[in-house]
Amino acid sequence: MKSFLPALLALAFVACKPNPQENQESSMTPSEEAMETGKDPHSYAKADAQVKHLNWDANISFENKVIEALAEWEIETQTGAENIFFDIYDLEIDSVLVDGEKTAYALSSFDEHLGQGLRIPISESAKKVSIYYRTGDDARALQWLDAEQTADKGHPFLFTQSQAILARSWVPTQDSPGVRFTYEAKVKVPSDMLALMSASNPMEKSADGVYSFEMPQAIPSYLLALSVGNINFEAISDRTGVYAEPSLLEASAYEFADLEKMVQAAEELYGPYAWGRYDLIVLPPSFPFGGMENPRLTFATPTILAGDRSLVSLVAHELAHSWSGNLVTNATWDDFWLNEGFTVYFEHRIMEAVYGREYSEMLANLTRAGLQEAAADMLKEMPNDTKLKLDLEGRNPDDGVTSIPYDKGYFFLRLMEETVGRERFDEFLTNYFQGHKFQVMTTEEFLVYLKANLLSEEEYASVRVDEWIYETGIPDNLPEVESDRFAVVDEALNGFLMSGELVAEDISAAWTTHEWLHFINSIPDTVSAEQLAKLDAAYKFTASNNSEISAAWFQPTIAAAYEAVYPKVESFLISVGRRKFLTPTYKALLNADQGEMAKDIYKKARPNYHAVSRETMDNLLGWEA
């Protein structure tokens, strides 16, 4: 079939400096090749010439908002290799050397999601490829923040977000989760700033702004990370600690005081932590995610600084990725549930170990309710994205980031745990992580492993494994989650809805954030603005400093046009760039016929958002950038 495709559809590589050739050549696009070989459709890299080690030498210019760097790659080739392919996105390549010799290279045409393939001719004995380059204005992984966008307002800030395929916008790399490499780096920043990476990290500022990093464990490029700012460090234990801007450091150290306990709980569950130190950095509020599992240094949103440690399950989640994802890695973004579903499962287990079953079951209950709501919505619009095994070819892998890989994945694993019992399941998981560490996993390989090492034929059938993985929607053997504490909340809310009576003080005084979240999430669509005002007067939801409470509260209040919440909605959307909060809040405005308000707010907020959040909100709001 392939060979009959018109030449126009084939990818054209155009030869570049230093010896531009006139003739264009064609080869298959990553999508076409994926159809033939099952390889990662989101990378131009090929198996016959792969990177093994990166030596990155970079200068970070806040003045020009540019990273200027040399990426020196040690490579390994197979017999007959004639080219090595890299992924790039809006990088300006200055020159390319192979084993010290300046070499001509070629670039493919630009694809909106994939960027460009960089083809460098090599011989099969080639050992080293050096690429001198600088980042472009559209470097989608990077967010350059002005001083006003930080907590302390005194210094600019830079952070990266490489997952899923954005590493290529700041390093020319083989940007597939299936390609691992070790790295070292030398990074030069302004002398009053600290630089941190997903590697061995400094604990204090250097005099000259030069920092050296080493990452001796092999990682895929979506785990490459860099943060630069006026950042200080505080230790929590010998191997854990927190980085934050000075004004947030004390609050951060308080919030994450249980870091060491979490690492110990995780190790007791599924084996040794493989990465040396485990630290966390609290980023400025525009960070588009809750957290990102960059090895050795989790990146986290400041919106989990609730002051009462109530939102630390996010830390358990990112920590869990040190096994699920960072050790055993999804082979392609279609297998994303192998990263996130396992991680949500592991997260709940860490929370149970550290805070007790009652607590973790409240979390599981919230997860279950969220999953059912999301799946019902998705079944109407994009039913195929409710399968665990995704098909993201030709699409932005970001489209796969929904509650399906996370929460359907979680409940699939929980169902298996309930089917075989915890003892067998834990032994299975421990062996799975230890047996595949620093390797990739496909959904299909996992199923083979599952049959060989856990489920009998009867168990496989009773779980309905194939239905969970390959069919749409949520199978009706979705595990139940009981929570006595939520039952009390249900009763109290029903009482209010029936008679207007508020929850008895002695009952609500003992409620945690999660009971309040369940309370707010359970408010029905039929509630009136007057009823919401009464709840607000009693429980001060609009004034809450807990980001999860705020985002949950925006739902019923926007729907019922409870106007007192609007100023808070606006200030929240302008100051916070975390996509998980932005999407439902803007959607709520649109659904309530408040499209004008949504766009007015977005106009002010958009400059503060990271490219990842901007892309999603542009689409949602029909924004012409």
Using CB under 6 A as the binding rule, whether residue 401 contacts ligand BES is answered as yes
Give the x/- contact pattern for ligand BES in 299-318, rule: CB under 6 A.
Answer: ---------------x--xx
Given the complex with ligand BES, which of 348 and 387 has the nearer CB atom?
A: 348
Cβ distance 312 to 277 under 8 Å?
Answer: no
**Residue written as token pair 């997860």:** 367
Using CB under 6 A as the binding rule, whether residue 293 contacts ligand BES is answered as yes
Give the one residue of 273, 289, 486, 541 binding ligand BES; rule: CB under 6 A. Answer: 289
Given the complex with ligand BES, which of 184 and 318 has the nearer CB atom?
A: 318
Distance, in Å, from the CA atom of 516 to the CA atom of 408, rounded to the nearest integer, reads: 24
Distance, in Å, from the CA atom of 53 to the CA atom of 112, rounded to the nearest integer, reads: 28
Using CB under 6 A as the binding rule, whether residue 66 contacts ligand BES is answered as no
Of 341-349, 497-505, 542-550, 592-600, the segment contacting Zn ion by CB under 5 A is 341-349
CB-based contacts of 90: which residues, under 8 Å, 6+ apart? Answer: 115, 135, 136, 137, 138, 139, 140, 169
Q: How far is the CB of 25 from ligand BES (least distance, A)?
A: 33
Q: How far is the CB of 20 from Zn ion (least distance, A)?
A: 44
Terminal Cα distance for the chain, rounded: 39
Distance, in Å, from the CA atom of 516 to the CA atom of 366, rounded to the nearest integer, reads: 11
| Active-site residue flag, 406 | yes
Using CB under 6 A as the binding rule, whether residue 320 contacts ligand BES is answered as no
Distance, in Å, from the CA atom of 368 to the CA atom of 266, rounded to the nearest integer, reads: 23
Alpha helices in 382-421 (DSSP H): 403, 409-420
Distance, in Å, from the CA atom of 156 to the CA atom of 60, rounded to the nearest integer, reads: 12
Q: How far is the CB of 315 from ligand BES (least distance, A)?
A: 9
Give the phi and the psi of residue 441 in degrees, each rounded to 5.
-140, 135
Of 287-295, 494-502, 546-554, 614-622, the segment contacting ligand BES by CB under 6 A is 287-295
Which among 89, 133, 211, 406 is annotated as catalytic?
Answer: 406
Cβ distance 518 to 365 under 8 Å?
Answer: yes
Given the complex with Zn ion, which of 340 and 361 has the nearer CB atom?
A: 340
Give the one residue of 321, 349, 414, 614 binding ligand BES; rule: CB under 6 A. Answer: 321
| Active-site residue flag, 318 | yes
Q: 49-61 and 180-188: which strand pairing?
A: parallel
Q: C-alpha distances in angstroms, 63 versus 156, 206, 348, 448, 606? A: 10, 20, 44, 53, 22
162: closest CA among 237, 210, 220, 123?
A: 220
Give the x/- contact pattern for ligand BES in 141-180, rule: CB under 6 A.
Answer: ----------------------xx----------------
Q: How many residues bind Zn ion (CB under 5 A)?
A: 2
Q: How far is the CB of 575 from Zn ion (least distance, A)?
A: 24
Given the complex with ligand BES, which of 131 and 401 has the nearer CB atom?
A: 401
296 conformational bin, left if phi > 0, alpha if psi -120 to 50, beta if neither: left
* Binding-site partner at residue 164 among Zn ion, ligand BES, none, CB < 5 to 8 Å by type: ligand BES
Using CB under 6 A as the binding rule, whether residue 209 contacts ligand BES is answered as no
**Residue written as token pair 């460009």:** 116
Q: Where are the beta strands (DSSP E) in 221-344?
A: 226-229, 232-235, 240-244, 278-282, 291-292, 297-300, 328-330
Using CB under 6 A as the binding rule, whether residue 290 contacts ligand BES is answered as yes
Sheet strand arrangement including 128-135: 101-102, 91-98, 128-135, 66-77, 49-61, 180-188, 210-220
* Binding-site partner at residue 334 among Zn ion, ligand BES, none, CB < 5 to 8 Å by type: none
* Binding-site partner at residue 371 among Zn ion, ligand BES, none, CB < 5 to 8 Å by type: none
Give the x/- contact pattern for ligand BES in 97-136, rule: CB under 6 A.
Answer: ----------------------------------------
Adjacent-strand bridge partners of 235: 241
Number of H helices, E strands in the chain: 21, 23
Q: How far is the CB of 190 from Zn ion (least distance, A)?
A: 32
Which among 184, 318, 340, 361 is annotated as catalytic?
Answer: 318
Residues of this chain, 324-343, that bind ligand BES according to CB under 6 A: 340
Given the complex with ligand BES, which of 348 and 606 has the nearer CB atom?
A: 348
* Binding-site partner at residue 290 among Zn ion, ligand BES, none, CB < 5 to 8 Å by type: ligand BES
Q: What kind and span of H or E run contains 112?
A: none
Give the x/- contact pattern for ligand BES in 553-592, rule: CB under 6 A.
Answer: ---------------------------x------------
Distance, in Å, from the CA atom of 354 to the CA atom of 265, rounded to the nearest integer, reads: 7
Residues that bind Zn ion (CB under 5 A): 340, 343
Catalytic positions, written as ranges: 318, 406
Residues that bind ligand BES (CB under 6 A): 163-164, 289-293, 314, 317-318, 321, 340, 401, 406, 580
